[in-house]
């Protein structure tokens, strides 16, 4: 794991949550996008050394919708930046870690992502995140 890339926070409404993050905490909004294959709209905020990702479900079938119904709004996951995500998944599986995603999926910003099952990580949902650096951007 290279570093913590972002912390995901489940919210019912990004629009309702942004005034707290931007106005009260002073964390600037970077971008908002929809990730259809995950059933979420996401907003990334720049918290300096990492990003905060607000996750709003866009359908009842979204895993985030189920999370909010079960646990309410709040901390959803911690994402680690990795290189060669396929190798990291294989390495974790060889160490007995149960994966939600045995193959990477496309996440926000076109990143390759995969989640570890919380039953293998003491109840915490962790995400592996491999970003393809674009011109002028570092991961």
Mean pLDDT over 119-130 rounds to 95
Mean pLDDT over 90-115 rounds to 94
Q: Give, in order, the Cα–Cα distances in Å from 103 to each of 23, 84, 139.
A: 38, 12, 21
Contact 30, 45 (CB under 8 A): yes
d(CA 13, CA 95): 38
pLDDT (0 to 100) of residue 121: 93
Q: Is the pLDDT of residue 137 over 90?
A: no
Closest CA to 102 of 118, 114, 88, 119: 114
**In degrees rounded to 5, what are phi and psi of residue 59?**
-155, 160
d(CA 100, CA 23): 35
Mean pLDDT over 92-112 rounds to 94
pTM assigned to the model: 0.87
pLDDT (0 to 100) of residue 133: 67
pLDDT (0 to 100) of residue 109: 86
């Amino acid at each position: 794991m290279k570093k913590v890339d972002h912390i995901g926070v489940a919210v019912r409404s990004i629009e309702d949550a942004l005034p707290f993050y931007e106005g009260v905490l002073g964390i600037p909004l970077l971008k908002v996008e929809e990730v259809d294959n995950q059933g979420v709209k996401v907003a990334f905020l720049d918290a300096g050394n990492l990003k905060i990702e607000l996750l709003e479900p866009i359908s009842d079938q979204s895993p985030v919708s189920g999370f909010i119904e079960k646990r309410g709004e709040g901390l959803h996951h911690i994402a680690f930046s990795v290189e060669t995500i396929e190798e990291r998944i294989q390495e974790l599986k060889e160490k007995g870690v149960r994966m939600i995603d045995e193959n990477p999926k496309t996440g926000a910003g076109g990143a390759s992502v995969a989640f570890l099952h919380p039953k293998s990580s003491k109840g915490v949902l962790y995400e592996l995140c491999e970003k393809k650096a674009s011109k002028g951007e570092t991961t």
